[in-house]
Amino acid sequence: MRSDVITRGLERTPHRALLKGTGVPQSEMEKPFIGVATSFTDLIPGHVGMRDLERFIEKGIHTGGGYAFFFGIPGVCDGIAMGHKGMHYSLATRELIADMVESIAEAHRLDGLVLLTNCDKITPGMLMAAARVDIPSIVVTAGPMMAGRGPDERRYSFVTDTFEAMARYKAGVIDGKELQVCEDNACPGMGSCQGLFTANTMAILTETLGMSLPRCGTALAVSALKRRIAFASGEKIVELVRNNVTPREILTREAFENAIRVDLALGGSSNTVLHLLAIAHEAGVELPLETFDILARETPQLASMNPAGGHFMEDLDVAGGVLGVLKQLGDRVRDCRTVMGLSTGQLVSSIERVDEKVIHPVDNPVKKEGGIAILFGNLAPKGAVVKQSGVSEPMMKFTGTARCFDSEEEAMAALMQGEITSGNVVVIRYEGPKGGPGMREMLAPTAAIMGLGLGDSVALITDGRFSGGTRGPCIGHVSPEAAEGGPIALVEEGDRILLDIPNRRLELLVDEATLKARQEAWRAPEPKIKRGWLSRYAKLVTSAYTGAITTAD
């Protein structure tokens, strides 16, 4: 075992002494050393219940014959970080998390890892580390939050009943009392936000990839089932260590294609494009951005999930969960290895029933194409991403007049002051991986557009990204980004922009000679953040079309 280098031999006497100083008995020195990377924090609703899951993971590890060591991993709540300086740090922490897990696993020669996670950038960061270190690993996602319940018996969710409600209040659609009811009921307790936002999408894709046990991706945070999954994961990691089953044996090209198809079938978060690209990079799997669009054209959307639809995670779990989606996709699914020890096909064959009111059959889809589309054109030569599952039919093709803003704050102020009107295309730039830095989510302006009733008449384009809660004609990840002199930096007030999602086009309707003159006159702006580790991150991070990874190249 890897841990032999710190537990065996005369020359390891000092190492054993230090381990005994932590309380490890001599009798446990020959057992597999399992690191439990826990992202427990009091700061995030999705993580406050992890202390309970830690207990069950530890019980499972010891039952399986291993010895557990816990170490902490930080987490950022995107909802709390939204709309201010904090959001610069969110995506960037994904790289920190991967680096931290790698550091502890390598420095302490751990034999295996249980990765306890839940929210947006933490789960992909953990998976990146697992793929990079490539020692036996299993992921436990802490589970989604229950929908809120208000006095009117309706179900409440975080995005639609806070960010969008705020804009509806501003527009006079709801009063202060109703806004307070939304605020009080949107987040009733522990768990990741109730809809198919980034946290829950990534939990689902982690299970689809084969890196967590069945039902882990959808079982509610408050459920006894989640405890049992945590215990079983603790037992399973010891078995994986003994059989030397490593992440790169599971994270194959075929597994990534399955994950993309499930994402498309559910209409999941557009952030998963960044994360799957980054995880694939660490796993040594070639996964071009175009793959998402190729699969989208042949994978129908089978569910209508909140925020774009009416179903919540609790509905999806009861309807059949991840395996139910895979079953409905049928022969589109590739048979792959999983941490469970059974193949994807074997697991799917165990499903007897799927609630087709929630997860439609492929011959009666919600939409004929998957939830994400990749756009190209002179405004996005390297690609852009849109969550087409959240776009209304009238806005699938749209030509509008550019309103240009060099930060999210400028755009938000214009929206709240009523300066954005029907027929506008809101362009928010210098918010990409380098320019942000950190590629901030634009949930506040996108929610404002919807809440102000402009979702069928205004589009938004950015080199930043969006929350999984975003809906409407919102195009992100525009590459190259403005800070690199990409075409989005050259857009001027009053320019006409064409959005054509069915034909995958994003065009700036300006002649080439004019664009060439603007390019020659363009100068890179001063960095927004010049101190701290984000200034280093900005120098190392790559474009969105590569997954916004950091590299020394």
Tally Cβ neighbours within 10 Å of residue 197: 30
Nearby residues of 186 by Cβ (< 8 Å), 6 or more positions away? 148, 156, 157, 158, 161, 162
The answer to whether the CB of 258 falls within 8 A of the CB of 332 is no
Q: Do residues 117 and 140 touch, judged by C-beta distance below 8 A?
A: yes
In sequence order, the 6+-apart residues with CB closer than 8 A to the CB of 456 are: 392, 394, 395
- 3-state DSSP of 380-432: EEEEEEEEHHHCCHHHCEEEEEEEEECCHHHHHHHHHCCCCCCCEEEEECCCC
Is residue 442 within 8 Å of residue 431, measured between CB atoms? Answer: yes
* Start-to-end CA span in the chain (Å): 33
**Count of C-beta atoms within a 10 Å radius of residue 126:** 31
Residue with token string 């939050």: 145
Which letter does DSSP use for residue 540 in this model?
H
Which residues are annotated as catalytic?
467
Sign of CA dihedral 93, 95, 96, 100: positive
What are the angstrom distances between the C-alpha of 357 and each of 196, 205, 262? Answer: 17, 22, 17
CA distance 197 to 211: 20
Q: What are the backbone angles phi and psi of residue 214, rounded to the nearest 5°?
A: -55, 140
d(CA 190, CA 250): 30
- Please list, residue by residue across 538-551, b when 16 or more beta carbons sit within 10 angstroms of its beta carbon and e when fewer do: beebbbbbbbbbbe
Residue 266 near residue 303 (C-beta atoms within 8 A)? yes
Q: H or E segment at 142?
A: none
The encoded tokens of residue 467 equal 């929350």
For 300-365, the DSSP string reads -B---BTTTSSB-HHHHHHHTHHHHHHHHHGGGSPP---TTSS-HHHHHHT-----TTTS--TTS-
